[in-house]
Amino acid sequence: MFYAVLSFFISFALCFLLTKLRVDSLIDRRNGIQKFHTWEARRAGGIAIFISLSITCFFSEYTKEGLLILISALPVFLGGLMEDITKRISPKIRLAFAFLSGIIASIILEANLQRVDIFFVDFLLENYLLFSILFTAFALAGVSNAINIIDGFNGLAAGVVIIVFLSYSYVSYTVGDEFLLFLNLVLLGSIIGFFLWNFPRGLVFLGDSGAYILGFLAGLVGVLLVNRHTEISAWFPFTLLFYPIWETLFSALRRKIVHGSEPTEPDIRHLHSLIYRRLIKPSLRKKYSPEMENSLTSPYLWLMQLLCTVPAVLFWDNTLLLILTCISFVFLYIWLYGSIVKFKAPFLLRILMRVWIK
């Protein structure tokens, strides 16, 4: 717990310093199709989180393990950081950096997936090391990108990963894994230290560096849990991260099939964008400041995350129930998305919106 508190204070202090720093390349302005803020913020939360994790791990009893994890995460962090600074790094290049981080993690941490609880895939993972490494790298790159996809409003991505690492902490404690419990608590401390500057006022953003590294680490911790503890279903981390994963898959399919555009092309048709533009903004009528208006969207998506989290935490060792949870979420998501597109938001969502806005 001491190290979680330490990582919190380091992250919090660094974010404070970033708010005072006038570095033009790290300022996130209003340009871009996916921008929903009207103020200037520091696009450097990932720097605070990475430094906080590095310092805390270095001075802990898990120095070696922690630093190996940070070394594996370095490429994906640097890929995101270059985009934060230059605004010129394409999504494909950032994914390549994330893929490289996945390969490094598989080699130096032996974090290559050995099972996904699907028979024919498990056979390949167990018998072909190269397939296992490439499969793991692809999965980790996908999760990295998924967290970046949902990073659109104050507190949205950070709130989701806080829920994820809280869930990992619980299961790590339940199975008696002291190192992973330490790692998850330190991650929680660093993220919460950032979160207080990000939500609700949006003074500091995660940036691509923050979103990519948190997505990568969320995937990596899931792989380590499954590899180290056979009683944990491989579908536990998948279900826990299913909201951002499905958001990414659905967006890619929607762009390609419905709109005929590139799957990686940015747009403003994500679920969180629709909730903001079609439910939140029309109801506010300039009642709040732009910062507060932006932040009102995130709690609705935290609820979406909880729809995956609660079953994942309750049934972390039951593959069948976790698979059914993912299937149910797909149908719920498609129904909700279609309803909002047709301006027919579900009654419960409208009630929640009125309560939250008041």
Average pLDDT score over residue span 57-75: 93
pLDDT at site 23:
67
pLDDT tops 90 at residue 294: no
Structure-block tokens of residue 165: 């690492």
pLDDT tops 70 at residue 348: no
Percent above pLDDT 70 for the chain: 86
Query: Which pLDDT tens digit goes with each residue over 188-209?
Result: 999 999 999 999 888 899 989 9
SS3 (DSSP) at 260: coil
Average pLDDT score over residue span 105-131: 92
Indicate the average pLDDT of the chain. Answer: 88
Average pLDDT score over residue span 148-162: 93
pLDDT band at 254; cut points 50, 70, 90: confident
Task: Return the closest-CA partner of residue 43 out of 13, 84, 2.
Answer: 84
pLDDT band at 276; cut points 50, 70, 90: confident
pLDDT tops 70 at residue 169: yes
pLDDT at site 86:
86
Q: Which long-range contacts (CB under 8 A, 24 or more apart) does 327-334 make?
A: 329/242, 329/243, 329/246, 330/246, 332/307, 333/246, 333/250, 333/271, 333/304, 334/250
- Specify the higher pLDDT residue, 256 or 316: 316
Question: Which residue bears the tokens 């999965």?
Answer: 139
pLDDT at site 33:
47
> Distance between CA 133 and CA 9 in Å, rounded?
36
Cα angle 225-230-233, degrees, rounded to a multiple of 5: 70
pLDDT tops 70 at residue 182: yes
Containing domain of residue 305, as a range? 2-357
Q: Based on the structure, what is the number of domains in the chain?
A: 1
Task: Return the closest-CA partner of residue 152 out of 248, 16, 260.
Answer: 248
SS3 (DSSP) at 199: coil
| pTM, entire model | 0.92
Other C-beta atoms closer than 10 Å to the C-beta of 59 total: 11
> Distance between CA 94 and CA 209 in Å, rounded?
10
The number of C-alpha atoms within 13 Å of 44 and in the hemisphere containing its C-beta is 25
